[in-house]
Amino acid sequence: MRFGGKPISPAIRSVPLWRLLTFCVLAGGALLGGTEKASAQAIDARHWQGAVAVTRQPEHVVAGTMAEWRSLWSRVGIVPPDGFEPGRMNAVGIFLGRRASEGYAVNILSTSRRRDRIVVVFEERMPADIMIAQRSSAPPTTRPVSSMPSFAGAAAGFAPPGAVATLSPPPARPVGQPTSPWAIVLINRADLPISVEQRLFR
């Protein structure tokens, strides 16, 4: 048998078609898996964080110039540290906005490259009693967006099936000073656009 003027090897002719298809699928999966790993590689970065920023509005700000770097730190009310190199670095400021008490913070989870951009992933850390209350309450299957509690408030518990539905009051906690948590991430490259993602509390 010939294909394109060249003889086909008897070994190839004896392989069933389903085996060839399986091999192609496995090889394609391996290539895609390698591409996915390459597209989610960690990026060298460092960060600072605190509990009280001058700005009380929630926002994400990207800085690429020296003026923007200084402006970013002016939102915190601190003199910017040395080490920022315009054209070679970018910085991202994450500001949660006003929170009613202490115990809230920005937790940077990762800074990585995903395909054609850099993604900074963070989560909001809350006071321990609120986190415990949310972990101990089972979420409903559906909940309208308009009635969802804010992350700053305590979650209401749900009664198990067959039990009398009673709402327990949120745990009592001392009233502290309002805070405005923040974090600034310095990324050691400036050739890709930056996205910020928040991982919601699980």
Task: Report pLDDT for 17.
Answer: 53
Of the two residues 164 and 4, the one the predictor is more confident about is 4
Average the pLDDT over 153-174 and give the result.
40
Q: Per mean pLDDT, which of 80-94, 126-140, 161-175 is the most reliable?
A: 80-94
Which residues fall within 8 angstroms of residue 136, CB to CB, at 6 or more apart? 157
Selected residue with higher pLDDT from 79 and 164 = 79
- Alpha carbon separation from 122 to 34, 38, 82, 134, 198 (Å, rounded): 25, 21, 24, 19, 5
Predicted pLDDT of residue 2: 52
Closest-CA residue to 165 (of 177, 174, 157): 157
Domain ranges of the chain: 39-137+176-198
Is residue 50 helix, strand or coil?
strand
The larger pLDDT score, comparing residue 24 to residue 114, is at 114
